[in-house]
Amino acid sequence: MAQRTVPILKRLLRSSSCPSQQRPNALTLWSRSVTYMPRPGDGAPRAVTLIPGDGIGPLVTGAVEQVMEAMHAPVYFEKCEVHGDMKKVPEEVIESIRKNKVCLKGGLETPVGGGVSSLNVQLRKELDLYASLVNCFNLPGLPTRHESVDIVVIRENSEGEYSGLEHEVVPGVVESLKVITKFCSERIAKYAFEYSYLNNRKKVTAVHKANIMKLADGLFLESCREVATKYPGIKYSEIIVDNCCMQLVSKPEQFDVMVTPNLYGNLVANTAAGIAGGTGVMPGVFEQGASAGNVGSEEIVAQNKANPVALLLSSAMMLRHLKFPSFADRLETAVKWVISEGKYRTKDLGGGSTTQQVVDSVIAALD
């Protein structure tokens, strides 16, 4: 069949009845729209738990609400008040997330020191949110030092240095435990390779410090190696975390998907986000991808100049997860068009645009 098809295409492309400037190519001849066959209830609006959070959180989540309403997206939000100075996440918030199975979240401020537990860590433990995914990529219209950056950082999110297992042995001596388990290491490695396989990614790099932490990070590497053997079509490599940081800032285009233990993932994701354009534009699941300064400053909040792009792109990822791909593509295309046209520059990108101006530009681009 293939041998017969080629001559037919060649004859069509050579046809004198088709002017040279209008000749179809093989892709045009055979392309057609993809039809989605819904099942009953697929188009029903979905409930999403919304946590505005602290600092710029209410500004950027408010931006998402406006854009979702403008595009008539099939979601509605159950808004929950959670703030970083609370002792614990309210039980009704946990119940809402469990019921809806999806939560869009603004930044929560975490007090530094003082023994106050992070509500972000509490949420991860309570809901077993074991995987953090941040996509750091170049956006046309947003100049950066490096080009061809498209990195996905997949971070183990439930153990390691973030376990919070620390105590004061004697006055002036604190012991903090790093916990690494084979179960969690294999689980995050499987997630990274499965993500790569389903998204046509070519390479997974494990980030570690097994040259020093031979048992803990050694176990993480051992788990990654075992999982890698089950995905022969995906290239697997390893890199020590300090060399990884140097390679990121000098030649980031060499990385594709990176899988990391908890603490390293936080550092690597923020570094990659900075390289690709800043924390205000890099999406995560389903919150701002990079955590550095994610609650902003009082000045940014007072001037309403928070950058909503990261959370808008995170919302597009959320829509795709909810199986509304057309709405996701529409939102993502509008955001990228606004950036490519240079129609906004919030303060973190050296401009003076307000959050509302960015929102208005995105809504206009939806039409």
Per residue in 34-85, pLDDT tens? 667 788 888 899 999 999 999 999 999 999 999 999 999 999 999 999 998 8
Q: DSSP labels for 325-359?
A: HHHHHHHHHHHHHHHHTT----GGGT----HHHHH
CA distance linking residue 184 with residue 32, whole number of Å: 43
Proportion of the chain above pLDDT 70, given as a percent: 88
Task: Tell whether the model's pLDDT for residue 177 goes beyond 50.
Answer: yes
What is the model's pLDDT at position 352? Answer: 82
Provide the 10 A C-beta neighbour count for residue 238. 15
More confident residue, 11 or 203: 203
Task: Tell whether the model's pLDDT for residue 359 goes beyond 70.
Answer: yes
For Cα atoms 125, 279, 120, give the angle at the middle one, nearest 5 degrees: 15
Task: Return the top range by mean pLDDT from 5-19, 77-91, 296-310.
Answer: 77-91
Q: Which helix (H) or strand (E) holds 169?
A: strand 166-170
CA distance linking residue 141 with residue 352, whole number of Å: 17
Q: 155 and 284 in contact (C-beta within 8 Å)?
A: no
What is the model's pLDDT at position 293? Answer: 56
Q: pLDDT band for position 20 (50/70/90)?
A: very low
- Mean pLDDT across the stretch 119-147? 93
Per residue in 234-274, pLDDT tens? 999 999 999 999 999 999 999 999 999 999 999 999 999 99
What is the model's pLDDT at position 82? Answer: 94
What is the model's pLDDT at position 43? Answer: 86
Chain-wide mean pLDDT for the chain? 88
Q: 310 and 288 in contact (C-beta within 8 Å)?
A: yes
CA distance linking residue 332 with residue 342, whole number of Å: 16
pTM of this prediction? Answer: 0.87
Could you tell me the two tokens for 103? 């939560």
Provide the 10 A C-beta neighbour count for residue 186. 17
What is the model's pLDDT at position 32? Answer: 55
Q: Which own/partner contact pairs does 142-147 have at CB distance under 8 Å and 24+ positions apart? A: 142/277, 142/281, 142/339, 142/349, 144/275, 144/276, 144/277, 145/275, 146/252, 146/253, 146/275, 146/276, 147/253
List 77's β-bridge partners, or say none.
48
Could you tell me the two tokens for 81? 């008040």
- Phi-psi sector, 277: left (phi>0), alpha (psi -120 to 50), beta: left
Per residue in 301-342, pLDDT tens? 888 888 999 999 999 999 999 999 999 999 999 999 999 988
Task: Tell whether the model's pLDDT for residue 297 goes beyond 60.
Answer: yes
Residue with tokens 């993502």: 332
Q: DSSP labels for 29-45?
A: HH--PPPP-PPTTTTS-
Q: DSSP labels for 93-158?
A: HHHHHHHHS-EEE-------STTPPPHHHHHHHHHT--EEEEEEE--TTS--S--S-EEEEEEE-S
Helix-helix angle 262-276:241-250, to 10 degrees: 10
End-to-end CA distance of the chain: 43
Per residue in 193-227, pLDDT tens? 999 999 999 999 999 999 999 999 999 999 999 99
List 149's β-bridge partners, or say none.
none
Proportion of the chain above pLDDT 90, given as a percent: 70
What is the model's pLDDT at position 345? Answer: 75
Gyration radius of the chain's alpha carbons: 23
Task: Tell whether the model's pLDDT for residue 148 goes beyond 90.
Answer: yes
